[in-house]
């Protein structure tokens, strides 16, 4: 299955971002800590035109902490400031304005040298759908301002939000890109809920999820779903389906003739993966970039 999605409102959102760049001091690129590369829009460098950037790995509470540390080191080595946060609970969110001012220390120093009180830092938050931009903004602002939801496409327009007296943020709709050159990117985005389920084949996505879980987190998968026999060969489709059917039997997803309802069990697998019910799971690591 090839997953592609680029609705018209995303073309409009890209244009709106480019129009606002002259007002922006830095960009805050929000990534999903479980899939930092797959959730990074490859068009972002072109869109932002070299603006200073702070990379924020959100949903860190759902990601493998050791893998997240590896990603922080990876981005730092590449010359990007990076931090991991959990916008749902607020963990480390307050460090974002501090890191932003560190990145812009030269600009702030110039203002001070001219005898001008430094104005509030102006940041632009960018990220793919459902990565948690609105939740993060509400945390930073300390009040409910931006609409939130557990589905992509909640933020419809742009708005400025004050974060205390030292930062102003511009929220933007999530932007995907026209084509996923690597089909695995599409699957990872689908697994984490960044793409609307209405356009997906849920069984295909769950199939891929089971394959990834069996490779990286079989113990957690076995414990959560009560299955004991891992696939003998990850490249054998029948073996992956067999594991899905085992999970379905454990969860009572049966239809006439004692057959497993693969659509129903696929929904269960994806919901529990996304919610963190299987534990802290990362779906890609810096090592994957070597292959």
Bind-site residues for GTP: 58-61, 130-135, 174
What is the Cα–Cα distance from 22 to 285, expressed in whole angstroms? Answer: 34
3-state secondary structure of 83: strand
Burial of 47 (0-12, 13-18, 19+ CB in 10 A): middle
Per the annotation, binding residues are: 58-61, 130-135, 174
Long-range contacts of the stretch 207-212 (C-beta < 8 A, 24+): 207/237, 207/240, 207/241, 207/244, 207/266, 209/269, 209/270, 209/273, 210/240, 210/243, 210/244, 210/247, 210/269, 211/240, 212/283
C-alpha Rg value of the chain to the nearest Å: 21
3-state secondary structure of 148: coil
Query: Quick one: the chain helix, strand, coil %, rounded to 5?
Result: 45, 15, 40
Q: What are the tokens at 87?
A: 């916008």
What are the DSSP E strand ranges found in the chain? 26-32, 53-58, 81-84, 121-127, 159-163, 167-171, 254-255, 259-260
Residues 6+ apart with CB under 8 A from 12: none
Decide the pairing of beta strands 167-171 and 159-163.
antiparallel
**Residue 24, beta-bridge partner list:** none
């Amino acid at each position: 299955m090839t997953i592609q999605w680029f609705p018209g409102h995303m073309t409009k959102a890209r244009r709106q971002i480019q129009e606002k760049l002259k007002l922006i001091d830095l960009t805050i690129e929000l990534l999903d800590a479980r899939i930092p590369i797959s959730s990074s829009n490859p068009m972002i460098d072109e869109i932002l035109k070299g603006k200073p950037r702070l990379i924020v790995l959100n949903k860190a509470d759902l990601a493998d902490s050791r893998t997240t540390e590896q990603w922080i080191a990876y981005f730092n080595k590449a010359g990007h400031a990076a931090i991991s946060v959990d916008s749902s609970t607020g963990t480390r969110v307050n460090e974002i304005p501090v890191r932003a001012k560190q990145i812009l220390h030269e600009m702030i120093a110039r203002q001070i040298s001219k005898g001008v009180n430094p104005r509030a830092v102006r940041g632009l938050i960018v990220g793919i759908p459902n990565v948690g931009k609105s939740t993060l903004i509400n945390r930073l602002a300390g009040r409910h301002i931006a609409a939130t939801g557990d589905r992509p496409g909640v933020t419809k327009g742009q708005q400025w939000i004050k974060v205390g007296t030292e930062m102003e943020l511009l929220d933007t709709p999530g932007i995907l890109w026209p084509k996923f050159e690597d089909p695995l990117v599409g699957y990872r985005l689908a697994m984490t809920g960044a793409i609307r389920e209405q356009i997906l084949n849920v069984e295909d996505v769950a199939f891929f999820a089971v394959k990834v879980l069996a490779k990286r987190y079989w113990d957690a998968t076995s414990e959560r779903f009560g299955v004991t026999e891992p696939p003998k060969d990850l490249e054998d489709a029948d073996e992956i389906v067999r594991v899905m059917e085992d999970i379905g039997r454990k969860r009572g997803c049966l239809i006439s003739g004692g057959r497993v309802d693969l659509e129903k069990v696929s929904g269960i697998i994806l919901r529990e993966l996304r919610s963190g019910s299987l534990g802290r799971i990362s779906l890609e690591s810096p090592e994957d970039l070597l292959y």
